[in-house]
A and B are shown apart, each in its own frame.
Chain A
Amino acid sequence: MTGEKILLSHGEGGKRTRELIRKIIAKRFENPILSPLFDSGLLGRLDGEIAFTTDGYVVTPAIFPGGDIGRLAVCGTLNDLSVCGARPVAISCALILEEGFPVQMLETILDSMKAAAAEGNVVVACGDTKVVEKGSADGIFITTSGVGIASDGWRPAPENVRPGDRIVLTGTMGDHQAAVLIARNRLELAAEILSDVAPLSSMLLDVLSAFGGSVRFMRDPTRGGVGVSLNEMAESSRVRIVLDESRLPVAEAVRGICEILGFDPIYLANEGKALLIVDGKSADPIVETLRKTRYGRNATVIGEVTDGSPGVLMKTVIGGLRAVDYPVGDQLPRIC
């Protein structure tokens, strides 16, 4: 592999590109669908309703405590499939690299993607690599699309959400965004926080096979956190959701960061969590099941669906009531 940095010629389609793809990229994702390196990955006949999703990943820094952009790119797309009840089948991987990007870092990121894909039981079926001039991209951008087979009998049904249903969150809020914030090191904060980035496919699909009928709707609370996702869910289902502030799971160090900067953890991004709206009676058994899994250890019921005009409210720690609205943009460190 020539030199230690990605060059423009690596993206120009010639010898260097072939070298990069064969020796660095495709070598890692070796599988029967990808290996012929056709212009498309042929997935064969898929039996069932097909789910399809896509996402772009631009996180800075590319590597952060608990993960990296590669793991994020795979898990994010797998989780989008899983919360729709789809078993992931294949993903694509399109890379945009900035001229000068260290090859070693690329290899680390690709290794991460390989491990995440293996854990999520999915193949990388196709991909693309482009290189842009220095300054035209922030190191590395990754776009992954994912194809999955929707479970027989289960579809997201926001229209079925009704008063009495309860909200389950599979673990602590804000770990990912807090970890990235610290890794950016613009605020000079230190803490032992790891991003929660994880593939949730087997955890969620197991819950669906055991409790399918009781689960109405699921989402993964990424950008904007639980606060935004719940507002979206309340809007789709046209219901009122009331949260219990004392039940919101937040790791101590994340709370510490939030208190210092004036952040509300409810709006911080998560990359290894899911929100489930479930039938009231099944909430506790579902939580019990989740708590036995690797990524659902801190699962808990955080609220319920009630009568009333659509929106999200929260019963505060001291017994008051407040609204939880959509935030305007990213939270900023404040003094007030």
Chain B
Amino acid sequence: MCLGVPARVMSVVGTSATVEVGGARREISVLLLEEVREGDWVILHAGFAISKLSPEEAQRTLQYLREISDAAEIH
């Protein structure tokens, strides 16, 4: 029920921001976030940024994925 896509913040003006998804850009509301800066990654849903996305956590999750796969191979 929640199509949300990772988008990069290109600029912020008040509660509006311009974000980009692979070259497609839109002006959206960042009313729901505390503090947003150019370069941040957010999740875009229905014209609003509903959360930030943490690049570090993303890497961590991918690392866990690699680890469980590797563990399976050891068995």
Q: Are A and B close enough to touch in the complex, i.e. CB under 8 Å?
A: yes
Which of A188, A192, A335, A336 makes the CB contact (< 8 A) with B26? A188
A152 beta carbon closer than 8 Å to chain B: no
B2 beta carbon closer than 8 Å to chain A: yes
A256 beta carbon closer than 8 Å to chain B: yes
16 further contact pairs, Cβ within 8 A, besides A188-B26, A335-B3, A336-B1: A190-B26, A191-B23, A256-B20, A256-B22, A256-B23, A257-B21, A259-B22, A260-B5, A260-B7, A260-B21, A260-B24, A260-B44, A335-B2, A335-B46, A336-B2, A336-B3
Q: Which residues of B contact A (CB under 8 A)?
A: 1-3, 5, 7, 20-27, 44-46
Which of A192, A193, A259 makes the CB contact (< 8 A) with B21? A259
CB neighbours (8 Å) of A42 from chain B are none
CB neighbours (8 Å) of A256 from chain B are 20-24
CB neighbours (8 Å) of A189 from chain B are 24-26
A252 beta carbon closer than 8 Å to chain B: yes
A114 beta carbon closer than 8 Å to chain B: no
A-B contact count (CB 8 A): 46
Asked if B44 contacts A192 (CB within 8 A), the reply is no
Q: Name 5 interchain pairs, CB-CB below 8 A, sorted by A.
A: A255-B22, A256-B20, A256-B22, A335-B3, A336-B3
With A190-B24, A253-B22, A253-B24 as given contacts, are A259 and B1 in contact (CB-CB < 8 Å)? no
Produce 1/0 per residue, A318-336, CB < 8 A to B.
0000000000000000111
CB neighbours (8 Å) of A253 from chain B are 22-24
With A259-B5, A260-B5, A262-B3 as given contacts, are A335 and B24 in contact (CB-CB < 8 Å)? no
With A335-B46, A336-B2 as given contacts, are A191 and B27 in contact (CB-CB < 8 Å)? no
- Please report the C-alpha to C-alpha distance between residue A122 and residue B5 in the assembled complex, in whole angstroms: 45
- Please report the C-alpha to C-alpha distance between residue A252 and residue B7 in the assembled complex, in whole angstroms: 13
Q: Which of A255, A256, A262 has the most CB of B within 10 A?
A: A256
CB neighbours (8 Å) of B2 from chain A are 335-336
CB neighbours (8 Å) of B45 from chain A are 335
Write the nearest CB–CB distance from B50 to chain A, whole angstroms: 11
Select from chain A the residue with minimum beta-carbon distance to B20: A256
Question: What are the nearest 10 A-B pairs in CB distance?
Answer: A256-B22, A256-B24, A253-B23, A256-B21, A191-B24, A259-B5, A252-B22, A190-B25, A257-B24, A262-B3
CB neighbours (8 Å) of B44 from chain A are 260
Write the nearest CB–CB distance from B3 to chain A, whole angstroms: 5
Select from chain B the residue with minimum beta-carbon distance to A255: B22
- Please report the C-alpha to C-alpha distance between residue A259 and residue B8 in the assembled complex, in whole angstroms: 13
Q: Which of A192, A251, A260, A262 has the most CB of B within 10 A?
A: A260
- Please report the C-alpha to C-alpha distance between residue A191 and residue B25 in the assembled complex, in whole angstroms: 6
- Please report the C-alpha to C-alpha distance between residue A255 and residue B34 in the assembled complex, in whole angstroms: 29
With A256-B20, A260-B44 as given contacts, are A334 and B25 in contact (CB-CB < 8 Å)? no
CB neighbours (8 Å) of A193 from chain B are 23
CB neighbours (8 Å) of A334 from chain B are 3
- Please report the C-alpha to C-alpha distance between residue A259 and residue B21 in the assembled complex, in whole angstroms: 8
Select from chain B the residue with minimum beta-carbon distance to A334: B3
CB neighbours (8 Å) of B46 from chain A are 335
